[in-house]
Structure 1
């Protein structure tokens, strides 16, 4: 099988490292010449291209590992080049935008909307590591032209990459849930770091709790502005809910209401335990 990976960054580079071990022919396409040279030197890809328009028509599966808008632009630009019956999959953290932009009618190729729920605050192929996928969650979002055969193919590849669980949900449900589990958490991390009064040397008093909560505040602003803005309705609702929860804590403190404060803490402890099973 010939697999193309468009964009050899954290996700694309990790995919390449994992999949080439299974004997697939991996064709990397990245506009950065240094990235291609590194991938070839480290034997992460079979061949590499900075353009790739000549190889696209020979690829059986293509993973488009780009920002959401760039993903849409790439697929639109190359839709007449894709091999007949090939499978094109994305990695975007928003799905309704992708489906609304690309899923109009049945094509000679099939788009399988997917999202690897894994990542890093680092960037670039040199920081890519397939270990970030191990036992992580992977989501596939069926649409009206999806086929069981091609969704199953992407599921198999996801497990080979190292993902521990593959789920199927609609694009609408995906964006609603990820607005909470991913987009809101990044907004909270940003707000926490930016709320530092800087009245003293904060770094001298930081423990694991602060580090854990703010790791993702070291953010790729270009990517996350896209994700926030293209999922703004869901994110705003989640931010409002979060503010309400903070207000309840603040009100409990202001009213010296230890019982309510204890109830809030017990609720969060129980719900966190449920997540771990």
Structure 2
């Protein structure tokens, strides 16, 4: 299935997602909610999936009231293939199809290597890597069955390009795996008209991220005071969730119609 030539389209047409249906995993807050917001603003109907079903529903209600696209919330545990299937089916049944899938759900417990258990390693890979694989696979099955192609966007991380720091062996390993998975999924799914792209953010001080930072420094340090140590921004400020959401919107839209397999760094030059 050849990718369409959209060079005659206006900028408004290229960025518009009107008529498209999207799923965002881990979408109840932070990066996920910001991504869902931009997709909905561009006209997509969006299903927010999250382990916190109540928070997913609250986020969906908020976005549904603000943007033209329909937004619904659902329980989703990306380590449970059954719930991934249920969310994919709900998108097809209630939104009318599936055109965009954003694998955003992820965890990054900080555990020194000598204290890292097999169980923690397996948990990180179950969420970050296998969860991405299962989400992409189930999205691709439905996109292929519908015969219209689609876009899969994997949230990678700058940790998919380099070592980050002590205690993050599992996270860095899982994100290197997601970056490689993105490339091979793009190769395998291209004949079906499905593009696969990665977005690699630097650290973004979301609610969940800051809670993890606070837990890693239990000596009473203010997590906000640690931000300059955790980022190497060349543009004079720390990232906000919408900085990443705009890159995801680019990937999901026809602005990137001739791209697949790449992982775009959204890192303010951190990895230079």
TM-score when normalising by structure 1? 0.44
Higher Rg:
1
Hey, which of these two has a bigger chunk of helix by percent? 1
Which structure has more relative contact order (CA 8 Å, sep 6+)? It is: 2
